[in-house]
Amino acid sequence: MSYDKVFKEIQEKWYATWEKEPPVRTRPAGEGEKYYCLDMFPYPSGSGLHVGHWRGYVLSDIYTRIKWLQGYNILHPMGWDAFGLPAENDAIKKGIKPQISTAANIANFKRQLKQLAALYDWDKELNTTDPSYYKWTQWIFLQMYKAGLAYRAHMPINWCPSCLTGLANEEVVNGGCERCGTAVELKEIPQWVLKITNYAERLLSDLDTLDWPEKVKTMQRNWIGKSEGVEIFFTAKDQSGNAVELPVYTTRPDTIFGVTFLVIAPEHTLLSSIVTPEQRAEVADYCRLARSTHAFGEMLDDDDAKKLGKTGIFTGSYAHNPVSKESVPVYVADYVLAEHGTGIVMGVPGHDERDFDFARVFDLSRPTVIVVPDGYLDDNNDLKKVYTEPGVVTNSGPFNGLTTREAHQAVIDYITQQGFGISVTRYKLRDWIFSRQRYWGEPIPLIHCGNCGIVPVPENELPILLPDVERYQPTGTGESPLADIADWVNTQCPTCKGPARRETNTMPQWAGSCWYFLRYPNPHLSSKPFSQEDMHYWLPVDLYVGGVEHAILHLLYSRFYIKFLYDLGFIPFAEPFKQLFNQGMILKHSAKTGMVEKMSKSKGNVVNPDDIIENYGTDALRMYVMFMGPPELDCEWNDSGIEGIKRFLNRLWNYLTDMDNRVSETENEEVGVTRRIHRFLKDFQERLDQFKPNTALSSMMELINDLMHDKAKIGLESLEKIIISLSVFAPFMGSQLTEQLLGKSLPECSWPFYDPVLAYTDHVTIPVQVNGKTRTSMQVAKGLTNSQLQSAAERAASRWLADAQVVKVIIVPDRLVNFVVT
Ligand code: ANZ
Ligand code: ZN
């Protein structure tokens, strides 16, 4: 009976067996070596899982299964990241309460996840909206508050006019809300803010210790945005002739000899003391206009634009450059922001784009202080275009001849020694705006008292429950809907017992995911968020698998939380995730748009795993999502691909279950079957170790082809090795064959190791030719068959064969492959 006729029955049988008794349960802390393999827990959306989700989940399950079969004590948990905007918006759309829609979505997700046949330990399931969980999310916030890391700020923040809430900087993508894309506005409302910037340096430097994709590390580095610059004290004179210090912030001290003007921001407090009487009226006009455009974002009418000039106005004053000893004019212009740096910039038109444009408008000279390549200077030796690259310093007195990098340091050293300035390290990272004016989140556990000010909720009163109400829609007033729930919001001050009000903002959706991996070892612990024993044994996470879209949100926030908890002595490690793997997306052709795109409901190109499982089974889907390409890359879904997997599973099943292919004792060394199987095991293991499950599967396919081609007979030992290797990809078939052919159960088996002596092969490097011309070469095992050589050579020379018609292939085994093409 071919496998596609029996897979359903097999799948149902094992599903039922594992529902009653899962193949493995996590053992207590301390029992053997541990392996903690974590998936980014899903936000249970209304639309359920699509096959794209499977890629990460299958990948992590394969590594968990290997470690399990190797005898590790494994922790492979699953839970629900169920608070937050998307869940609330989904509920609003459906016209029901988020409590209800979330519960329904979780039930559907769980049903779908169970079809994965992953080794999840459902005893460890957790849900961020469960009061027994968010009690501890609130508790951590209180620790932050008590440590002075949570503060209240009145400042303009990013406001999404569609989601009606404030957003963190990390949640604004290209000026739009990360969730709904609506352009964000600035709005000034009191906010709770977390001092993530205290950790900027450690968040940056500890990246070097992590086994993470370089891409994610780079994204975090750029987001933290460390720059080492210097404040240089230029000096001007006020109207009475007293010296006024004008501190300039620059990250390019190497260009100090190229300064031809300074620019001060229109709102700068020092501006009034340096403007000369002749310029006062014009400058005041300019500043008024600049302020109004900033404040209201309005377009200027033509007259105003003319008055404003192109970009600025001369102040009438000159400033002294302490290094070059030159005197340069000071302008006011709105391209310099008052809040950034010192609010005063040194203009280096030769090497800074905006300064170059400015100097052109105001007809200021544009000297070069870095040697520019040919083509930058015109016949008069004037700079035609700005040169912003590094290079060798020139026209800079004692710094001539240094590279820009050397000059950077040399100028800083000189300036600081002479007292002409101070060095400053800056980060782009801003503090984390942590309050949301929405209902569906953890209430922030603070109380506002008229007498005592802000008072933290006593820890023994946690959790502060989110009230269960009918009306929870956002108000848009800048206040959370919780503010309207009188019997919830009015409370007693814990300190003076007088009347007081609860804080009505809630936490952002990231709050629950910052620490959930600490809770998994014991999600039912009621006295503490986690036990010390578990922290020492289970953490940090060994392998974390999830999408790259979390690179600067969740993955930065959780690193911050962990460092904070570490500093307070709650946990013995300062980085949560030792190894990170980002799976790529599954793309599919969309009939609507005619393009190959990310799967999404709106594009109508979603493949529902339920349908694939119905027609092909879980094992085939698991295999296909691994086989479709390198797991870190985006790959396109192809119906013919899953058909191919189905054929492979049929062949595999036929070969393994056919008793004619069996020998009773260990198989005959001479036919090389044992060697062939150990070669496979070696490839399989190595490719998995390198996160190449797709090629690991190819090596299994090649093995089965060879065995069938050679009509090889195998003994029980080899059979077991193949079945166990298979089981990590195809657990249903693996379990069935283990029982049926080996008379055992999967938990009684262990991971097959290869024998390096048996796996050893001599390799040869042979040329691959096209029409007799050597195009490339390939390293192959000695003694490959002609067909193996041909397919390897086709892959190696694919570039040259792409548009050609192969008419003949000449193969000299172990020596050469030559394609004759027209
Ligand atoms: C001279 C210079 C020469 C600069 C050069 C750049 C290139 P970050 O890393 O963003 O801080 N700058 C400083 N303060 C500013 C402000 N308030 N508004 C607008 N621009 C400001 O960038 C530092 C650079 O941005 C500084 O280095 C300064 O221009 C400009 F070839 O100084 B630079
Ligand atoms: Zn009080």
Residues 406, 436 share a domain: no
Which ligand 1 atom is nearest residue 225's CA?
A: 9
Please give the distance, rounded to the nearest whole angstrom, from the Cα atom of residue 468 to the centre of ligand 2. 27
Q: What is the mean pLDDT of residues 439-446?
A: 96
Tell me whether residue 28 is in a domain: no
pLDDT at 311 over 80: no
Residues 421, 310 share a domain: yes
Q: Is the model more confident about 294 or about 422? A: 422
Residue nearest to atom 5 of ligand 1 (CA): 352
pLDDT at 297 over 50: no
Residues 693, 656 share a domain: yes
Q: What is the pLDDT of residue 788?
A: 85
- Residue-wise pLDDT for 763-816, tens only, equals 888 999 999 999 999 988 888 888 889 988 998 898 899 888 999 999 998 899
Residues 767, 734 share a domain: no
Q: Is the model more confident about 300 or about 611? A: 611
Tell me whether residue 169 is in a domain: yes
**Closest listed ligand to the CA of 391:** 1
What's the length of the chain?
822
pLDDT at 515 over 90: yes
Please give the distance, rounded to the nearest whole angstrom, from the Cα atom of residue 248 to the centre of ligand 2. 46
Pocket lining: 387 vs ligand 1, CB cutoff 6 Å = no
Pocket lining: 734 vs ligand 1, CB cutoff 6 Å = no
Please give the distance, rounded to the nearest whole angstrom, from the Cα atom of residue 281 to the centre of ligand 1. 28
Tell me whether residue 540 is in a domain: no
Q: What is the mean pLDDT of residues 735-761?
A: 92
Domain end point (choices 502, 525, 558): 502
Residues 748, 651 share a domain: yes
Pocket lining: 358 vs ligand 1, CB cutoff 6 Å = no
Query: Which residue among 226, 228, 246, 252 has the greatest number of ligand 1 atoms within 8 angstroms of its CB, and so is best to mutate?
Result: 252
Residues 291, 185 share a domain: no
Query: Which residue among 223, 250, 270, 358 has the greatest number of ligand 1 atoms within 8 angstroms of its CB, and so is best to mutate?
Result: 250
Query: Which residue among 221, 228, 251, 428 has the greatest number of ligand 1 atoms within 8 angstroms of its CB, and so is best to mutate?
Result: 251
Q: What angle do CA 100, 105, 110 make, to 5 degrees?
A: 130
Q: Mean pLDDT in the chain? A: 92
Which ligand 1 atom is nearest residue 426's CA?
A: 11
> Cα 458 from chain centroid?
36
Q: What is the pLDDT of residue 663?
A: 78
- Residue-wise pLDDT for 72-102, tens only, equals 999 999 999 999 888 888 888 889 999 999 9
> Which residue range is the domain that position 247 belongs to?
227-426
Please give the distance, rounded to the nearest whole angstrom, from the Cα atom of residue 214 to the centre of ligand 1. 28
Residues 268, 339 share a domain: yes
pLDDT at 181 over 80: yes
Pocket lining: 345 vs ligand 1, CB cutoff 6 Å = yes
Q: What is the pLDDT of residue 101?
A: 94
Pocket lining: 348 vs ligand 1, CB cutoff 6 Å = yes
Q: What is the pLDDT of residue 774?
A: 93
> Cα 440 from chain centroid?
24
Q: What is the CATH number of the domain that holds 147?
A: 3.40.50.620
Pocket lining: 252 vs ligand 1, CB cutoff 6 Å = yes
Residues 342, 477 share a domain: no
DSSP summary character for residue 427 = -
Q: How far is it, in rounded angstroms, from Cα 473 to Cα 506? A: 14
Pocket lining: 650 vs ligand 1, CB cutoff 6 Å = no
Which ligand 1 atom is nearest residue 388's CA?
A: 31
Residues 795, 677 share a domain: no
Pocket lining: 255 vs ligand 1, CB cutoff 6 Å = yes
Total count of domains within the chain: 4
Cβ neighbourhood burial of 20 (10 Å; 0-12, 13-18, 19+): exposed
Q: What are phi and psi of 808, to 5 degrees?
A: -160, 145
Q: What is the mean pLDDT of residues 505-527?
A: 96
Q: Hey, what amino acid is at 365?
A: S
Residues 422, 435 share a domain: no
Q: What is the CATH number of the domain that holds 356?
A: 3.90.740.10
Please give the distance, rounded to the nearest whole angstrom, from the Cα atom of residue 341 to the centre of ligand 1. 8
Measured on CA atoms in the order 408, 414, 415, 416, is the torsion positive or negative?
positive
Q: Is 578 annotated as a binding-site member?
A: no
Tell me whether residue 26 is in a domain: no
List of E strands, 706-813: 763-770, 773-781, 806-812
Residues 180, 297 share a domain: no
Query: Which residue among 321, 335, 345, 430 has the greatest number of ligand 1 atoms within 8 angstroms of its CB, and so is best to mutate?
Result: 345
Q: Is the model more confident about 649 or about 666? A: 649
Tell me whether residue 516 is in a domain: no
Which ligand 1 atom is nearest residue 350's CA?
A: 31
Domain end point (choices 733, 759, 785): 759
Got the DSSP string for 645-711?
Answer: HHHHHHHHHHHHH-GGGB-SSSPPGGGTHHHHHHHHHHHHHHHHHTT-HHHHHHHHHHHHHHHHHTT
Q: What is the mean pLDDT of residues 477-496?
A: 91
Q: Are 509 and 84 in contact (CB under 8 A)?
A: yes
Q: What is the CATH number of the domain that holds 791?
A: 3.10.20.590
Tell me whether residue 773 is in a domain: yes
Pocket lining: 432 vs ligand 1, CB cutoff 6 Å = no
Residue nearest to atom 25 of ligand 1 (CA): 250
Domain end point (choices 487, 502, 517): 502
Q: What is the mean pLDDT of residues 324-341?
A: 93
pLDDT at 296 over 70: no
Residue nearest to atom 28 of ligand 1 (CA): 250
Provide the whole-model pTM.
Answer: 0.82
- Residue-wise pLDDT for 663-715, tens only, equals 765 555 545 788 889 999 999 999 999 999 999 999 999 999 989 988 888 98
Q: What is the pLDDT of residue 185?
A: 87
Worst-scoring range by mean pLDDT, 47-51, 106-110, 677-681?
47-51
Pocket lining: 425 vs ligand 1, CB cutoff 6 Å = no
Per-residue buried b or exposed e for 740-764, using 16+ beta carbons within 10 Å of the residue's own CB: ebbeeebeebebbebeeebbebeee
